[in-house]
Chain A
């Protein structure tokens, strides 16, 4: 039985691009710890995310989350803010790689895009997420979802803590 994570939902639409997650204005930043202050600054209605997000809160999104640029800043800014997992119907492929390579979990949740549009999961809802089984419960609305696990290789990279520790462990 894996650990159950509890936190509030921050809900986003389909096709959230990397400029909305972390704007190109701040690309010269090289220190991941300084990146959370810029998260979602350009996302209409979520300008206060960086100030108000608490460690343990979840990012919940529809389809194709993280489309656009290859900037890893868009993963660091959420990981370093203490968002424990991205819940999205799908992620854009480069964003997905960047997350896995950092040992940062992403759950692909079927039906999430429609559920967001239908208001079955809303900003501020209290969520319970079990990473091991992919079970997601919205205690506020009573909705339940299921997130798909990743492939064997991605699971191995994730459990090593990311691509670099994975490669180092293979060299030994």
Chain B
């Protein structure tokens, strides 16, 4: 019997043969923490080592400041300071402060992530790095503190589901809509404890941004990791950033032809139409046509799921077709994933046009995914967002959020009511 991708990744990290269902100890390539959870990790590490402990490898630890960047309160500022001081004391050089962006994206752009890496982080969307075939997972502070002690951690070797996507997206439909279809079909717990391999020609042709979108929301089905083997331009980009070793890594973790899958699901993405996750759960899925006309108060485009340049450019194309004007009744906010994305938006002239249209363009941050930073919704407001969660009251008690693709979100900002982007651009 052959091996799946996650089995090969775990075998590299565990230095032994692994079997599905077994618990194994894996060497950790990166153990990271954000400004959220980061102080909890450093305080816990100091407590268990009575402030005398040294981390196992200061070159394999990174801190990213993204959840509340810049800080909005004294408490958060203090947590960020605790992290900076810990990093200094431990000789940790990979500190990406508030001027960088969303952690996983920053690690990726800085060439720190390779296919086959095992990566921990205090962000449940770490697994978007599965888009370059790294096994990255969100964990709590105890997992992080433990890995700083030992350089290892325990994992159950998961079963793998294979999802094959073929065909080309129709005008106005994107990878986000395919993802929403999957979340609707599989449900919030549909992938609990499972790994996923995405394959098929629609995946092989997809951009890095699309792969990130797809893998980020495996979390919303409670999956362990969604993996895509880098190929074509994505592989070239990754090798350019992370070095030539990327190619041999890809070869070493490619799944075997007779790898065991518990299930294979097949989708023809050319049959999809724009979809939405309706309040108050990602798996409450309807077509945009069904909910079109719903008035909204705020539209947000960004997040770790849809904050890449390609996502913002897709929204820009909808705005361009609409004469560069959004509805005055809607507050529209765009948040790039990283500084690199923001610079490209600036150099290609997008930001000026967004500002002219009456849109707020923010620094890169995760802030709009919380109720504790800018963009929080008051009770009774309806929001539309390209983020990944619309749980009850997540961005404000008594508010409700629809999760949409960047194109649908911008079409909605333009019209002031939920709008199918095909009505504008196709």
Contacts and interface: CB of A to CB of B under 8 A. Distances in A.
A and B: bona fide binding partners: yes
A94 B140 contact: yes
Given A68-B124, A167-B150, A23 B393 contact: yes
A19 B189 contact: no
Given A90-B192, A153-B154, A71 B23 contact: no
Contact of B146 (A14, A101, A154): A101
Contacts of B149: 164, 167
A24 B192 CA distance: 22
A27 B192 CA distance: 24
B235 interface: no
Given A30-B39, A102-B142, A23 B371 contact: yes
A39 interface: no
Interface in B269-314: 281, 283
Contacts of B188: 14-15, 17, 64, 67
A101 B143 contact: yes
A70 B393 contact: no
Interface residues on B, range: 35 or more
B180 interface: no
A163 B143 contact: yes
A162 interface: yes
B370 A93 contact: no
A100 to B, nearest CB: 9
A139 interface: no
Which 5 pairs from chain A and chain B are nearest by CB?
A64-B189, A72-B140, A70-B138, A98-B140, A153-B23
A25 interface: yes
Interface of A: 14-15, 17, 19-20, 23-25, 27-28, 30, 42-44, 63-64, 67-72, 75, 90, 92-94, 97-98, 101-102, 151-154, 157, 162-164, 167-168
B347 to A, nearest CB: 34
A38 to B, nearest CB: 12
Contact of B391 (A20, A70, A94): A20
Contact of A94 (B139, B281, B283, B392): B139
Nearest to A29: B75
B140 A19 contact: no
B222 interface: yes
B79 A71 contact: no
A64 B190 CA distance: 9
B112 interface: no
A103 to B, nearest CB: 10
Given A25-B372, A27-B370, A72-B40, A15 B189 contact: yes
A19 B394 contact: yes
A24 B394 contact: yes
7 contacts: A24-B370, A27-B370, A28-B73, A68-B219, A93-B193, A151-B23, A157-B154
Name, among A90, A152, A153, A163, the residue most crowded by chain B CB atoms within 10 Å (CB to CB): A163
Given A28-B79, A68-B124, A164 B142 contact: yes
B392 A70 contact: no
Contact of B79 (A19, A30, A101): A30
Contact of A30 (B40, B140, B392, B393): B40
B146 A64 contact: no
B361 interface: no
A92 B392 contact: no
Contacts of A28: 36, 68, 73, 75-76, 79, 372
Nearest to B74: A28
B189 A92 contact: yes
Contact of A17 (B36, B122, B371, B391): B391
Interface string B137-159: 11111110110011000101000
B375 interface: no
Given A28-B73, A64-B222, A151-B23, A15 B150 contact: no
Contact of A93 (B39, B142, B224): B224
A68 B142 contact: no
A164 B369 CA distance: 31
B185 to A, nearest CB: 15
Given A42-B397, A164-B48, A167-B146, A68 B391 contact: yes
Given A27-B370, A67-B222, A94 B146 contact: no
Nearest to B126: A70
Contacts of A168: 48
A72 B141 contact: yes
A117 B189 CA distance: 17
Given A27-B372, A70-B122, A93-B224, 4 more contacts: A15-B189, A64-B192, A70-B139, A101-B140
Contacts of A44: 392
Nearest to A113: B189
Contacts of A154: 23
A154 B321 CA distance: 56
B239 interface: no
B123 interface: yes
Contacts of B131: none
B67 interface: yes
A36 to B, nearest CB: 16
